[in-house]
Structure 1
């Protein structure tokens, strides 16, 4: 089967590499010539565990090719997968310009039947509009005998485990009412449907809304636990005990009820905004979605409030060691990362940041350049040198069992602000350090460890 993928980001590149790995002939198209050149040299522009080897192996065996020739890309694939970004636009909705450019390219260059698969997260009704628009354009250029079918096929990949998620999907949503398209999609995903039936077939609009509903549900769980954490802080309770108490209920579960400094990345923030925007457009008041976003925006500054209170508002000239810059572990993605909001707020009040992240250092340099109040550390220990306090923003494994004696000796104020609750209070305090977490009141006495 011949497949063309538009987009070489976290979704497109992973999906293209995985399809090539099961034997499909895949062309990956992008308008960014520098990115395509780098990929053809085996250089991966993003960090995702397992992706580099996957790309290099399949490119080396000529099952995966990277091109900027759009006509060649359209001609190649019987299936055209649209996996380009849909960032937030000025009004809070989804910016569909990348999708529109990809669709225009397919409509302009296709000379035979195509199945167009929309993997990009798009507002409900986009698939209908695309199919109608493409049919009109084909008729206008006298190619009315070419048949185009548009399918919604949302992705549910988690950055940091995207390759595994792609190879072992828990469900495969196919949004179409067309029997031929359904059959082609089943053939495309047959290698990933061996253990048990994973296909869920529905109409296109329902598939589009399913994607938004899934991400907004997860964002809601995060904002909910962070709101309970704020209550725990105010009432002298420990959110970690509360988390176990509610997570042990199988109706709730433990997934996505880990308190912290809020969600980030390229999906949850924009999708909550976009669905709220869609709701307003059809006369449905998005009370819950608005609250989810408001709590998350506030949560980004939860650590700043603790830092400011501890230092009595005297933050001018203070130095903070930052462990973690990416919005989550196992990625270099800093889009909407909580660490950015906190770092920029500390700069506003005259503080300096010594930053370290296992994978996001180059991305941090790209974003901030040679910022006068930013020191790029080479190791997590290097970040501690000369710092007043340690701030943990991302729960990388490399941060989870540190040398607390070294931390205690290095920090002038001997204080740790744990934005992901990865440390045991007794352990940290046992090394002479003051500890602040999220929803872990300083008045809470912890008896024993987990």
Structure 2
């Protein structure tokens, strides 16, 4: 490009600070992000952008950090309608006595549609642009996300027993393969396979899941080593740890995302390293359910890719990934007994580029680099609770909360403008949410 060449583009975003994630550990000042269509055309100093680009729209953000959109790698979106319904209980009591019975009574296509839209509204408002979901009626979740223009990995459920979505493993696999074929070429929707956990899925269905993944390239997400009881029970009944069983069945590999991993031995780490499987860290859910603590530093030092997720709003109880990232950084230091562990920049990378790697889309998502998809957010650092600003990266992890997000774009399309959602009718959504809440309260009172 010569000095007198002017390039036309769609949007210019002028930022006080910019954290591109790539290169790692960098905070840039007075930068411009140029968007052309669905992609980032350039990231460059504002003075250089003045000389080289003319855009249809210019957005000035003089007190903001601009960074890649957050990637929430694990959740159950529809469960937002169960937020706060069964708190202060251990995992198996929470599941067996409260969540599974409630799902049997209430979960339907409309429940999933409304719960997913509620989850998307919260995630978009707090900086998430891509989320991973593992829940019932995945075809509804996929359509809702696509219609909203939000990126989603949608994992169809796979269990040994009947649910509201199917009679058993054969039907889940059949319907799941149809889901994969329906969405496999979509930029927004990434269909995936979601075996619930080793203790709810037997060897046969897990083997079928592996075969389906190999045929289609779909990723596999599974709850794994979530509690001490899960691991001890497997050792007692099968004489092997769950991760060893999965490795023997071929479940572990570069397309596999292992959620939770609070119970980790040296041999477990070796399995992860040797297979290239990813770990999805959900610290707040693990803390709230007293499930255990993921040894983040040990995993990172071993070369395991760690991304981050909120889990569902019924066990967190929010979907604010900035809050989750803060908790991850704090807990990692305590677990390692080292305050230098999991720096702010490393935590932000877990919430962005590492999630993109787990999805196999790091060439398109997770950092602000020319040629990548234009998924980015802006966070206002002008409020008193974030002042003064010495290090924006530190503020985003340790001082910020997601409500400071003011702007969001996915594929170059605005999803949040000046703190307001552009693609979700919030008043209408709240009417439907309150209707569900009334039904659930009525049943709880019976």
TM bucket by the smaller chain?
A: under 0.3
Higher relative contact order (CA 8 A, sep 6+): 2
TM-score normalized by structure 2?
Answer: 0.25
Bigger radius of gyration among the two? 1
TM-score normalized by structure 1?
Answer: 0.24
Q: Name whichever structure is richer in strand by fraction.
A: 2
